[in-house]
Amino acid sequence: MFQNSVSFAEKDFIIKGIESNIRLDGRSQLDYRPLYIETSNLPNAHGSSRVRQQDGTDLIVGIKAETSNVDLNSPSPNKGKLICSIECAPNSNLQFRGRTQEEINTELTQLFQKMLDYPGCGVDLESLLVIENQTCWHLYIDVLVLGWSGSLVDCISVGIRAALANTKLPKVIVHPPVEGVTEFEIIDDNELTNSLKGWEDIPLIVSLNKIGEKYVVDATLVEEGCAQGKVMVGVNKSGRVALVQKVGRGAIDLGMVSEMVETGKKLALVNLGKMDERLASEKAETEALRKKGNQVSPLGFLAH
């Protein structure tokens, strides 16, 4: 997806190390770097998160909910929508090499929109209906990439899932119809909000980079520059695969692709379990600390 230059000598050294299961930072092939997540960090958003890797990747996700008219021409008009937009800041260290920033933003946006639209792997869109055949919620998911040190797609998936888990929709009071017109009222009260239904089914993505005759997860910037190809696997909590996509010019043997998909699926399920455990813990800690007026610390997970 992204390209960066690595010298021949450096690439040879990295490949030989990975084939011996020794990476430059001391990790083995399937080890992750520490990843930290904060939620509720954008006060004017309905949901938000910030994801930071130990040594570089940094992104913010904001969720904005707006009411909209249903599309009566749609096959399923009485459903809300998730609308994704991803933008990389000019100083985010992305190396485009002949591709414009707009092309990268579009590619990332399309990837995540495709995954979020996959049946059974996302928010319960029917629960976003306000008035049948009239009004529904549209959730705008905006991602801003501030910095990048590899494994960007994986981090974005964590940020989106955390922000949707954190999203609270205002209470809506629907008034009885008058002369065929139904009106509603949005209650602006933080104590009268509803969590999203189905956020647990949002997938996480695991990217596996083929380097030499092996593959690694959570590749660094330099490791991604050595990769012949990458397989991205999106999996939800029930084990449903919502995304399998191969990127890169290098060929990957079909047998290895199958192995990479299975490995990605297993790792995604482990990461989902850790993430949900930490989000539940953070929620309890946040509620306790806010009552005391204390600052909430960022939460770490995916650390081995």
| Domains of the chain as residue ranges with CATH | 8-292 (3.30.230.70)
Q: Beta-carbon neighbour count of residue 137 at 10 Å?
A: 23
Q: Please report which helix (H) or strand (E) contains residue 144, including its range.
A: strand 135-147
Q: How far apart are CA 111 and CA 156, in angstroms?
A: 11
Average pLDDT over residues 283-302: 64
Q: pLDDT-based confidence at 101, cuts 50/70/90?
A: confident
Residue pair 214/18 in contact by the 8 Å Cβ criterion = yes
Structure tokens at 230: 């990458």
Q: Give the N- to C-terminal CA distance of the chain in Å, as an integer.
A: 27
- 256-266 pLDDT per residue, tens: 999 999 999 99
> Which residues contact residue 23 at a Cβ distance below 8 angstroms, ignoring those fewer than 6 apart?
14, 17, 29, 31, 216, 220, 223
- 9-21 pLDDT per residue, tens: 888 899 999 999 9
Structure tokens at 188: 């602006």
Q: pLDDT-based confidence at 97, cuts 50/70/90?
A: low
Q: pLDDT-based confidence at 8, cuts 50/70/90?
A: confident
The one-character DSSP state at 109 is H
Q: Beta-carbon neighbour count of residue 111 at 10 Å?
A: 22
High-pLDDT (> 70) share of the chain, %:
90
- 179-237 pLDDT per residue, tens: 778 888 888 887 788 999 999 999 999 999 999 999 999 999 899 989 999 999 999 99
Closest CA to 84 of 47, 46, 118, 113: 113
